[in-house]
Structure 1
C-alpha cells in the first residue's frame, strides 16, 4: 500500500511508536525515513517522530498500521470569502512566523534528528516572539494537513461552550418583561442540580410514556408531585414560591434530553417507524426491474355510491384494491367492490392483475389497445397486508402461482409506500372532486351529509377509476428518470408506461405469463351450478349458454331425464361470464349470459345480491290490502249465494238428465243475453235465430256427407 503525504494511519504495535493516530508529514526516500506527527486532542505541544520507511512498510503489510482518517475542523473547510477579515489577519500573522521553517525541505529531518537544535529559538528571536508561539503554530500546521487555513482561530469551544457552569447566587437569565412599571416582577430562583434531576425524573414519569404530552402539562404535574411542600408553604406565608419557572423547565429539558430521544419517547413504535424515523433509502433500492415486486393494498374509497337498480338507495363507500409494480410505479391491477378488505376481494384484484386489460375495459365500454395497458403478468414477489393474505387459501392458491408472498408487519404502512401513495394520487385527482365524496374527513354535523349527494353507481365509479389509472400510467414521475438509463437512451419521457415497455423490451424484468383459464381456476371461488333444459342456471335466476358442440344435446337430456350439478368459477366483477367444467374430467370453459338474463349483464356481484335481497324484501312485504280483502269477501259471498240458490232448485235424478240438452239450453241462454242487450222482441229474435240455426244445420249436414269406397272383391286364386 502506498504511503502518501498528509495521509493518516492508525498505528498499533510498531517499535518506537505509541498506539495512536499519525499523520505523514514528509518522506525522505534518500534516507529511507518517514516523518510522522501524532494526532491528539490534547493541548500539550507535540513533536514529530522519525521511523524507518522499511519498518513502516512492513507494519502496513502485517496490519499494524492501517489507513484511517482525521476530520478537519469546520472553519478550515470554508472559502476565504466566507471568513471574517479579523480571522484572516490572525491566520496570516501566524503563518508569517513559520513560513520560512515549513518552506525549508530539510527542516523536519533536522528538527527530529537534533531535539536540542536552536533553529526554532533563533527563528523566534528573529520575529521577536516566544518560542512557544512558534511551536503552537507548527503543531496546528502539522495537525491539520499542513495548509495555511490550519492556523485559523478555532473558537468553536471558546467560553466553555457545551460545558455546564457552576451556578452562583446571582439570578441568571433574562427577567420577566412587564409593560407596567407599577408592577414588580418576581425575582425567581436559579436552577440547581437537584432541580435538573427532578426535571428529568418528571419527564420520564409524565412526558416520555409513548404519547405526545405538552410540556406545560408535565410542568404542572411536576410542581404538584415534587414541589408540593414549597408551594403549600409559600401560600401559607403569602410569598412567591421558590420553584423553577416554566421557561427554565423548557430550557433544561431540551438541553438535558436529546431531541431524538424526545421524539422517540413521545410516540409509539409503530407511529415512529411509519412517520418519524430517519429514511434509509428509496423504496426501489431492492428491486431490479418491473415484476420484481408487486404491492397490493386496499382502502375504503372516499365517496358514497348508489344502487344500480335504484339510484335513490345509498350503498355506502366501496372498497378499492390497487396492485402496483414497485419499480415502475405502474398500476397493474384494479378492483372495486362493496366487499370489505378480504381474501375474497383481494383475489379478484390479483385476477385483474394477471389477465388482459383490454377485455376488462371493454366490460365498461372503454375501448383500449393492449399497448395502452400492457399488464397481464405474474410478478416474482407480492407484498401485501396480513389481513387478506395470511390465510390458508392465499398460501395454497396464490403462492404456487406467484412464487413468493411477502406479508408486511402490522401497523407498517410505509413498507408499502408505493401503493399507498397511489391511493393519495387517485383521491386528489379524481375522488375528492366527485359528488358524494367525504374528502377523507370524518362526518361533521356542521356540513352537509355527503351521503345525500351520492350520485354514482359502482359501475360508474369503476369506469372513472379506470380512466384515471390510464392517465396515471401515462403521467411523468421524475424519480423514474434516475432509476434507469433506458428512458434517456430511448428519448422517452419518464412515465410508468414507458418505463414498463422499455424494460420489457430490453428483457430487464422479472415478469412471467400464465394462461387466463389457469389463473382463474387457481383464484376464482368454486360454486355449484345446475344444468337444465334452458341452460346452465346460477342463483335460480341467471342462465348461461356455451359454444360447446354437445351443449344442445345436454339441454335435451336435462329437460327429459332431469338436471344435474356442475362445478363453476364465479367472477364477481363480471356477471356476464361463468367458467364451468362441463365434462367430468375436462377443463373450465367460458359460458355466456343468455338474452333472457340480460338485466344482469356486466354487473358486479354486489348488484346481483342487491337484486336478490330486493326480491326477498318485496315478497316479505306482500301482505293483503284492504281492496284485496274486499274482493276476497265478495268472492266468498258470491260462492255462498250460488250454493244456496242451487240447493233451492229441485234435484234431478241422474247425471245424464242433468247434462242432457246442454246445447239447447246454451242457445237459449245466448238468446236471452242478446235480448237483454238489444231490447228486441222475443218472437222476432227467436224466429231469426231459428232460421239461422236451421240453415246452419243444413250446411253442417251437407258437410258431414262422406263417400265410402267400395270393397274390392277377393278371388279364390288370391286367397
Structure 2
C-alpha cells in the first residue's frame, strides 16, 4: 500500500496472463495491513465511529458493485454528483474510494493506520524545553520539585547505575537509585569533600526506573538478578521433553536420591533414634517405570547408589519378600541393564563408577552441576512417592506441622524402623508403576492397540515389541560391578567382617582359621549386601561362594541389615557416663583398700623386726609352710565342728552362732554365715 493511493487503471486479462507467463510481470502476494487485522474488541469506540463515518460517505457508490461498474466513462461526473449530494468536497470521495480499492475493498480499510505513527527506537524531541509529565502538587499547590529534563549525561548515568541492579551489586532499585545520587549528584565543597544533594538537579525515582527499563531488556534483567543457574533450572523456556531421543524401555535410566522427611528408630531398640533415611530411586526414562529402589542410611554417594542399581538390575520377588511384600514377577518385571545411565556427579563421577561402566557396558551421562532439570523425571518421582506414602503425616514426619515454640518435637514421635519404612516405599512404588497415568507419552501405535497409559503397561508393550536390545548379566558380574567389598582378616574363630564372624565350606575344608592363627595372618575380600547381614560372598576364581554366620552368632544377628548390626555393636560397646563414673569411684575405693592393707602389713612387719640374715629369712620354707598348713587345717576343723550348734533356724541358734563367730577369723566367719543361711532355707 502506498502512502497516497492513486486511481486504479484497467488492463486486459489476456495481456496480463501473457506477461505473467513470460515472466515480464511477477505476482506479489501482499498480506493485509496490520491495522486492519483486529477484532472489534481491540478497536476503540472513536475509531469505530470514524470508520463508519467514512464508510457511509462512499457506501452508496460501491456497495454491491464491481469496481468496473464504478470506473466508467462517467466516473468523474458520478463522484461530483455524489459529493454535492452529501455536501462534501469531491476530493474526499476520491481519496476514500482509492483507499477502499487499494486495501481490499473491505470496511476496515478506513481504520486508523497508527502502526506508522511515531519513530520506533527514536527518542522524542524536547527542544521546546517543556518538561513532560504532570506537575506535582502538595496540599493542592504545585511544587517546584519536579522531574528534570533528561539529557544524554543523565541517561548515561542512569544506564550505568541501573546495571548495578541488573548484576546484583545492589539489592533493590531504591538502593541503586540512592547510590547514583550519592555518586553523581552531590555537591563538592571548597575543600574537595562531598557535600549534600543538589535540590532540583537530579532525576527522580520514576525517571530512573523508566529509563533503566528502556535500556535493559526484561529477560536480561531477570537472568542477571536470578543468575544463570536459576535461569537454566527454573526460568528458561522448555524446548523439548525429558524423554526426547529415547527409543524404548531400558534405553536410559535416571538415578537420584533424597533425604526422606521422616525420622526412624532402630529395630533392636525402639528408643534408639537413627535419624532420617536416604531414598534412592531408579526410573526408566521411556515408560516412567520405577525400576530400582533402595532405602538406607548412607548417601548421596556411590556407596548408596550402587545398592539401588543392584536392585534395578536384579529380579524383585526375593527383594520384596525380604520386607514382607509378596508379589509376582509380572508386577515388577524389571531386571535389565540400560544402554545409558544418568546420575549426579556425587554418585557416578568416580573410579568406581567408571569400573561399573567398563564391566557392564553402560554409558554414563553426568549432567553439569546445579542442573537437576537434566534428569527431571527421577526428580519428580520423589514428589509422587511422597504423595503416595504421605510422609509428612506419619509419626515422626518432618513437615507434619509448622513447629513453633512449645510444640512437641516431631522426632519424639518416631515409631517406624528402616524395614517398615522400606515396606511402605515398596508398596508406593508398586502402586506408582501400576496406576500412574501418563497419556502424554503414548505413541500412535500404543493408542492404536488401546494400551492403558500406565508405566507397567508401557514397559510391557515396549518389551514385547523389542524396541531396545535389553541386556541381562550374570550375578557374578553384578557383584563385581556394584556390590561393595572389603578386605577382612581371617581370625582364629573365622572370617571377621564388621564385628561378625563368618565361615564357609571352603574355609573349613582348607583350615583357613588355623593357618591364619598359627602362621602368617591371612586376609580375604568379602562382597556384601547392606540390606542383609547374611548376604556376604567371597570370590574364588570366577565364582562367588556364599558365607554363613557362625552358629553362636546366627541367632543374634540373622535377619538384620548391615547398618543395624553396625549400630548395635557400636552402641552396646559404648559405656554410659554414669557407669564410667561408678567404675571410677569403685576403682578409687579398691585402690585405697589395697593401700590400707599394705600399710597394715608394713606396720606388722616393722613390729616383727628384721631377720638376722637373708639366708636365715629364706631357709626352711617348706617346714614353715607345713606348719602354716597345719594351723590353717586345725582352724577349719574347729569351725566345721561348731557347725553342729546350728540345729534349727531359731533366733537362739543364730545368736549362739554369732557369739562363736566372734572368736573366728574373718574368712571362717563368712563361711560359717553362708552355711547358717543355707540351713535356714526350707527343705523341698
TM class, shorter-length: 0.7 to 0.9
RMSD, matched Cα: 4.9
CA-CA distance at 1:515 after TM superposition:
2.6
Aligned to 2:654: none
TM-score, length-scaled by structure 2? 0.72
Aligned to 1:601: 558
Aligned to 1:678: 644
Is it true that 1:33 corresponds to 2:17 in the alignment? yes
Within-5 A mapping of 1:531-680: 536-543=495-502, 545=504, 551=505, 554-555=508-509, 557-558=511-512, 565-581=523-539, 583=540, 585-593=541-549, 595=551, 596-618=553-575, 624-627=583-586, 675-679=641-645
CA deviations 1:400-424 (Å, max 9, x no partner) are 4243111101121221211222223
> What is the SS of the residue equivalent to 1:334?
strand
- C-alpha distance in 1, partners of 2:427/2:24? 71
> What is the SS of the residue equivalent to 1:339?
coil
- C-alpha distance in 2, partners of 1:577/1:159? 81
> What is the SS of the residue equivalent to 1:574?
coil
Is it true that 1:497 corresponds to 2:456 in the alignment? yes
**Equivalent of residue 218 in structure 1, options 166, 170, 176:** 176
- C-alpha distance in 2, partners of 1:74/1:573? 71
- C-alpha distance in 1, partners of 2:392/2:162? 42
Distance change (3 Å), C-alpha of 1:552 and 1:300: closer
- C-alpha distance in 1, partners of 2:428/2:297? 20
**Equivalent of residue 292 in structure 1, options 244, 247, 251:** 251
Distance change (3 Å), C-alpha of 1:625 and 1:253: closer
Aligned residue-pair number: 602
Aligned to 1:415: 374
CA-CA distance at 1:154 after TM superposition:
3.5
Q: Determine if contact 2:490/2:513 at 8 Å carries over to the other structure.
A: no
CA-CA distance at 1:126 after TM superposition:
7.0
- C-alpha distance in 1, partners of 2:75/2:201? 60
CA-CA distance at 1:238 after TM superposition:
11
- C-alpha distance in 2, partners of 1:140/1:105? 17
- C-alpha distance in 2, partners of 1:311/1:69? 81
Is it true that 1:470 corresponds to 2:430 in the alignment? yes
CA deviations 1:201-250 (Å, max 9, x no partner) are 2112x212157732111111111112223999xx9999953432222322
CA deviations 1:434-461 (Å, max 9, x no partner) are 3444449999878765545444433333
CA deviations 1:183-213 (Å, max 9, x no partner) are 7655502442333332212112x21215773
Q: Determine if contact 2:54/2:96 at 8 Å carries over to the other structure.
A: no
- C-alpha distance in 1, partners of 2:402/2:340? 36
> What is the SS of the residue equivalent to 2:37?
helix
Q: Determine if contact 2:260/2:279 at 8 Å carries over to the other structure.
A: yes
- C-alpha distance in 1, partners of 2:498/2:42? 84
Distance change (3 Å), C-alpha of 1:158 and 1:302: same
- C-alpha distance in 2, partners of 1:162/1:96? 39
Q: Determine if contact 1:322/1:331 at 8 Å carries over to the other structure.
A: yes
- C-alpha distance in 2, partners of 1:229/1:416? 57
> What is the SS of the residue equivalent to 2:23?
helix
Q: Determine if contact 2:263/2:397 at 8 Å carries over to the other structure.
A: yes
Structure 1, unmatched stretches of 5+, are 1-25, 35-50, 60-64, 112-116, 546-550, 682-719
> What is the SS of the residue equivalent to 1:568?
strand
- C-alpha distance in 1, partners of 2:132/2:629? 133
- C-alpha distance in 2, partners of 1:27/1:507? 67
> What is the SS of the residue equivalent to 1:52?
helix
- C-alpha distance in 1, partners of 2:340/2:75? 72
Aligned to 1:461: 421
CA deviations 1:350-380 (Å, max 9, x no partner) are 1121112222222222222222222222112
CA-CA distance at 1:302 after TM superposition:
3.0
- C-alpha distance in 2, partners of 1:653/1:27? 159
CA deviations 1:569-614 (Å, max 9, x no partner) are 1222322201222x3x241134444552344334343333323433
- C-alpha distance in 1, partners of 2:530/2:137? 72
Distance change (3 Å), C-alpha of 1:106 and 1:406: farther
> What is the SS of the residue equivalent to 1:33?
helix
Structure 2, unmatched stretches of 5+, are 1-9, 84-89, 609-616, 648-684
Is it true that 1:359 corresponds to 2:318 in the alignment? yes
> What is the SS of the residue equivalent to 1:474?
helix
Of the structure 1 ranges 68-77 and 255-264, higher mean CA displacement relative to structure 2 is found in: 68-77
> What is the SS of the residue equivalent to 1:229?
strand
Distance change (3 Å), C-alpha of 1:164 and 1:385: same
Distance change (3 Å), C-alpha of 1:223 and 1:337: same
Q: Determine if contact 2:255/2:342 at 8 Å carries over to the other structure.
A: yes
CA-CA distance at 1:81 after TM superposition:
11
> What is the SS of the residue equivalent to 2:244?
coil
> What is the SS of the residue equivalent to 1:290?
coil
- C-alpha distance in 1, partners of 2:66/2:179? 67
- C-alpha distance in 1, partners of 2:374/2:558? 39
**Equivalent of residue 259 in structure 1, options 218, 223, 228:** 218
Aligned to 2:37: 76
CA deviations 1:145-196 (Å, max 9, x no partner) are x766556444445577876433344443345576x55x76555024423333
- C-alpha distance in 2, partners of 1:622/1:672? 44
**Equivalent of residue 391 in structure 2, options 424, 431, 443:** 431
TM-score, length-scaled by structure 1? 0.69
Is it true that 1:55 corresponds to 2:55 in the alignment? no
Of the structure 1 ranges 488-497 and 71-80, higher mean CA displacement relative to structure 2 is found in: 71-80
CA deviations 1:317-373 (Å, max 9, x no partner) are 333222222222222222233323222222222112111222222222222222222
Distance change (3 Å), C-alpha of 1:80 and 1:443: closer
CA deviations 1:9-67 (Å, max 9, x no partner) are xxxxxxxxxxxxxxxxx999855727xxxxxxxxxxxxxxxx4324379x9xxxxx9x9
- C-alpha distance in 2, partners of 1:305/1:314? 6
- C-alpha distance in 1, partners of 2:250/2:527? 27
- C-alpha distance in 2, partners of 1:540/1:236? 77
